[in-house]
Structure 1
Amino acid sequence: MRRLTAAGCLAAGVWSAALAWAQGGPVMIAPHTSGGMSIGLGTGTAPVAETGGSAPSSPAAGVNADAGVPRIRNAPGGLAVEGEQMTQPGVQTGTAAEADTADDRGRRGSEFQRFVAEATGVTLPRFGERFFSGPTTFAPVDRVPVPADYVLGPGDELLIRAWGSVDIDYRAVVDRTGLISLPRVGTVRVAGLKAGEVESFLRQQVGRVFRNFELNVTLGQLRSIQVYVVGQARRPGSYTVSSLSTLINAVLASGGPSATGSMRAIELRRAGRAVAMLDLYQFLLRGDQSADVRLQPGDVIVYHPVGPQVALMGATDNAAIFELRAQGETLRDLIGYAGGLPAITATHQAMLERLERDRPRDPRKVQTLALDEAGLGQVLRDGDVVTLFQVAPQFANAVTLRGNVWEPLRYPYKPGMKISDLIPEKAALLTKDFYRRKNSLVQFIGEAQSAIDPDNKDGARSAQLPTLQSTSASVPPTLSPTLPDEPNWEYAVVERLNPKTLKVELLPFHLGRAVVERDPRENLELLPGDVVTIYGRKDLRAPQATATRLVRVEGEVMRPGIYQLEPGETLRALLKRAGGFTPQAYVYGLEFSRESTRQKQREAIAEAVRRLEATLASEAASQTANLGTTDVNAAARLREAQMVAAKAQLNRLRNLQPNGRIALQLSPTAGSVDDLPEVPLEDGDRVLVPARPGFVFAVGAVANSNALIWRPGRTVGDYLRQAGLEPSADEDNIFVVHADGSVTHRRDGGWLLNRLTSLELAPGDVIVVPELLNRETTWSAFVRGLKDWTQILYQFGLAAAAIDTLRR
């Protein structure tokens, strides 16, 4: 058996190998170890000699598993392409990579684009420009079906498979003469055949040698062709493209026309004559591919200069510069290119700016036209600028209702329409937020996130009524989350535009009289375009006599609850309206809190904290400078400990929450409503009447800080002896916080220590015993910055719980 390398086989001629096969046995084509391939002539057994390669070791490598069936195989690369680099299907740029000046000019825009930008202040793109804003190359998918009318040529690869009396799995590449070589069949000319014809043709050729077989032919890798792009292209040059490429593929590869190139006249020339004229507008707007012919080697694509251009701007979805293809195109054609007129475009008027080059002194003129048959038929000329306008956003037959209402909307106007027609009932003045808050009071919950009635099987939460339990340190909750946003019944306004003066006029009216009483003086007649605004009580501060003011009354009163204040009502009058005190009421300990006072207390605490922080930093710096050289480490550790303690105290003071309590300076023997002062009440005030306690408290540097049983006639000294003073107690600065919120210090009013200790206490009073401090430490300077505990407690209204928190 003789074995030849692929190159040797080509040199000797494949036909001789096929002839030898026909005379003696099968031809075996197998991969070669050197990278080529070998053709073996034999009887289907292992070869006895080879040139430049090793024997195949399996049927896949060329050994016929069935000695009675000839097998034709080749390496994946194909026999006819030995040593040749094939161009992949797609597009490769050649000289276009160096010719980029037109691309640069395209980015700057044309002269007409710059003229429009200078004349109107708007930079318009060129229509169709975005089509080329993607990748600069276009490579068609190499696995798309090949059209049946595709014409074979040199470089195309055929995948030939047959089964039956012959086993063929062969790749053949059309050589430059248009031939392919089939062992035992011979050379066959396939160039010029269409893809739909090649299978039947090869079946006929193989059928001259074999009988009883089936044959299938598909196209593999397709050839590449060279085309040329010239004229006003963005990137002119020569391009190597797939043989499946069309004119539009090449246009995309070349980046489209330059700023001076036409999108409507792209010519394809073949063998010196025009083959097709591509209008990109037809393709972009209608998908028309009638001019998109398949390219052939040597084709020339010519970009003609741009034709007449016009600009369309204003109320259009596609403001751009458009190219006119021929004379006689109208405004209707231009609007069609832009996708038609949007709904917001006014049809009664448009503006046309035109260049008159034969009039050098006044080359530009403006004219208006309507977008009717006559206006749309206006013939356009090179350099025209068309501006479309928006419709006016005014309502010819509407009035607007807004503000504190159920449904802020525009309502159709009817002649003779009045305020009462726009707001027919009072329910229209309830906002949707009121019902949303009301519905949130009873919600279905799947988990027991709050207390649920065990007898309630449907999982509905009970209505959360305002609680009557509170402590002196708590912040007053919202009085009622379901109170409506009450409208201002005394004032509403109609906003009206005077068409003569174009001045906006405000016409105020009394809402209650217009809607409820239908007073003709207030029930104004409306006009088209009027805007009626309804205000809420929160929008405009109303007089106290008409404002809704609520006060919470809790504790030991006959009828606790939330009360709406009457004009000028005082604390004494309100508690009488609440039924007076119960027998268990402790009037001396009555807590009267106000939100405005709480805010001021919070601001005072914040200011005190800032002042104390500055004092602490100053004292720390001073002591650092005064440290001696002896035992520096011990002094530093002591100073650090003092600083930590001072900062902790500051944090505790910063976290205090004042309750806004106002000390009423009551007598311990007060027991009736008449003993209360005549304090005017405000919206949001809170009154808590506690039950009479049976204890007094001693906090601070005492051994027993528990509650101590109150007994009549017992003094501060008696309770201090009962509580026991700590060795660190500062007896000179003991003070008392009374149940009514007032504070007694031995420095106030000339009190001496023995006089303070002889002071009789009332139930609920608190004795505060500060600790004795080292006067030479940073901590002492920090405390001196506080001035004294009396001022803090008196100014901030802190209760016993807060005092104990400060100490801890």
Structure 2
Amino acid sequence: MPAQAKPALPPASLSPVEAAYSERAGSVLLQFGYDQFGEEPPRRDGSGGVQADYTLGPGDELLVTLRGQKSSSKRHVIDAAGLLTADDVRPVVAQGLTLAELRAQLTNAVTASFPDTEVYVSVTEVRRIGVLVTGAVARPGRQEVGAFATLIDALGAAGGVTRAGSLRRIRLFHAQGTGGSPPAGLPIDLYDLFMTGDGATAGLRLRDGDRIFVPPLGPTVALAGPLKRPGVYELPPGQDRLPVAAARELAGGLLRPGAHRALRYAIGPDGEERAEELPETEAPPLADGDLLLLAPRREDRRDDLRLEGHVLRPGPRALGRTPTIAALVAATDLGPTPYLPFAVLASTRPGSRARVLQPIDLTAVLNGRDRRPLAENDVLYVLGAEEVDFLTAEPVLALLRGAREPAPDACRGLVVLARALTAQPDGPLASGPQARAAAKLTGGRTPCPPLFDAIPDLLVFALEHSTLLMGGVPRPGFYPSTGRRSAAELALAAGGPESGPYETPAAGLGPPRRAAAPGSILEPDEPVYELTGHTRRPGVRPLAGGATLRDALSGGDALMRDVYPLLGVIERFDRRTLARRLLPFSPQEVASGQANRALADGDRVRLLSAAEVRALTTPTDKDGPTEGTPADAEPSLPGDVAALVRERGVQVGGAVRLPGAYPVAETASVEALLATAGGPTATADLASLELTSATGQRRRLDLRDGMSARTALHPGDNLRIDPLPQALEARAVTISGAVRRPGSYHVGRGETLSSLIDRAGGLTEEAYPAGASFLRDSERKRERAWFDQQARDLERWMVQEVEKGEAARSDVVGLARQLATQLRGVEPLGRIVVEADPQVLRQRPDLDVLLEPDDRVLIPKRPLTVTVAGEVLHPTAAQFISGKTAEAYLREAGGASRNADDGRIFLVLPDGRAQPLSLSSWNHTVTAIPPGSSIVVPRDPKPFDLMEFSKNMGTILGQLAISAAAIAVISE
């Protein structure tokens, strides 16, 4: 048995024959031809283009169209007797006639009754015939197919041949009387159809009553390897052997020309499987159960090499045309940003066949100084700016700082680097001077280049041949070279100026040029400073002529529009004390000439953006950043710089556009702070500012005098601008219903309901102020909280009852669950009982309610009904009749239901007040029921008597009934 991998498909999806061959071959082998049958049953045949010689029979549907003296267009079906019966025309015998013959006879029949009438006949649907399909098919039995159906159509209607059935030994038996098939049946070989499309017998048209038999699968062989159609094939009928050449032809032939090794695995009579390499000529034929494995005798590639990486046209090259490295790559082949000091040549040693990497100076190659010969399978990898920048990226620096493994989604180059560092923890790459120095660098979050993922060894190789530039260039970091480059040349490749801190002195005027050896660390010779952060042109600049902060920020091209104006930081390293100091300064004062500071060698001038400062000073809660500050907005600043920014804040609040904390250097004026905070709002009172110092002293400022704007504030101070008193509320109230000018009105502080009614034009003649509905949002929230609390109490009781497991209370638990759902679903209105009659309010101003924002007032028209709701047989709105009793209204609603609580019936008056009703025969007090009232019959709380808070159940049910009645009144 060949020692190969297991098949990829699960055994459950393979037939027993396929599973056996696949296990022997080590790859998935499928039986040929069985995928030709679709999984879905064939669609019903249409008429298509039926020819004139089509023979008609019972079941055919015809469209007969008459034009002339008689005009009609109808469909007719030939009946079981073979007759075609059309309206007002004698029957015509259609069975056995062709379509053309039927047209002629039907024309004679029509013109005999209706002269000057043209006849058109077409077949709209052909008849269905029955074919019996038996044997190894998915759905054996009688299949209904069209009259034009072939054997393939019938097999498809039966679900296709199963993989246990034969495709080469199918038998077709024509019905008696049709002739054309021998007694043993007509043999059908579907391989002819599936291989060449020339299966003549498979395309025979079936007849009604035909039978198709699919026998079991016959002898098989299997072919695997570089073939166009590897798989399992059935031997031809009547043959128990198959020549190797014929087997290859079944499998579509070889994928590639040339000599192939053929191994035949045959199973002997004792069940033992033996392998035999077959000769290329006169090979013995294959027998049932044989497996033929083909493999090319040679797959090596000669006389080629490759150019890969940062080039315009990567790929193979012919060794004959590019025998040297200078002939392989030219300047026109390189990408837009090539890295010329370093490339990698991968070669294969002839003896050990080991792969060897060599550093290449690409500049020397392009200048023609390097003309080394190339060999077969050599690959030249050209690096670009993307690959070199990644050497100092954060994922690489994290591993050099001591991280044990890269991120889960890291590229293969990072995985190889992690292995190399783990294998040599005391090596120069893991713990050498470069690794310790690089730990202080800040890397970018650039993705891993595809070249390091495809060739992972290149990342480690490039780092091993790198020089670490610590300053004097815009992009400090690792820069690989062959060791023959100077420091100035590497600095130029790192984006530095031609005349910079690594510049080579002129001949005879200074020391010899500085070499950039792999593994070394280089720092600039001349004093420099670095401008970093939120600036247009960050980078390292020479500190010539006693440069100052004003020199660093001058020119108009250093500061960006959204730079934070009140605080910048100078990061300074004191070489005498070996301490790192942070010196805050105000970029605004420096740029305006009000302040300046001399810079020292190695200073890093950091400018901040307004977004960075906002992200640092915006407080966060336990759940994460506050709204408007995304989680990834935290700037990547050094920890001590971020701490300095946070501790030097001045709180600015009140009527400003962007309230918050604004860090300052030493001091900042009120004017500067307000400008940074977006300025005062339109409602700010410039005459009323409150300044609270860090020591707790408080004073008032007036910006109108001009002096207060120049008041200095220090870190820790608090500045607040008071808003102007607002005459109007921020939100409006709404009045609707029977008023002359309904709508929304902005109200002033202390405005009352009577004032709102006057502004709305007063009440109309049909207004009913006694039924006014006054809705307040705060009351609605209170009612909502009350319903939610009652629902939570019910749910807590249900949990306790379920834990007790008392089956006797299951019905009560079900009622409680329904009630909790009802409590959570109710929408309270927040109605308040008020007096809305203007005449009464003029006499009793103490009843005139004060308005709040978002209040809603509805003045209804005078109603003529009394609503009966709750647990009654037929809730209704009965006609109001003066002096009519509550009992009479209840009788009109069918009376109380059996779930009603007769002792808790109450009356909701039009203004929202509720009062109990006593319907006892002993009660002789007559309760007046005004129009617009609601009689509410609450639900009986007795089913809840077993609950621990059943004493409150009546209140809960009553509140639900009141809410339902109020909603009904408001909706009307």
The alignment's TM-score, normalised by the length of structure 2, stands at 0.42
Structure having greater relative contact order (Cα 8 Å, sep ≥ 6): 1
Q: Rg larger in 1 or in 2?
A: 1
The alignment's TM-score, normalised by the length of structure 1, stands at 0.49
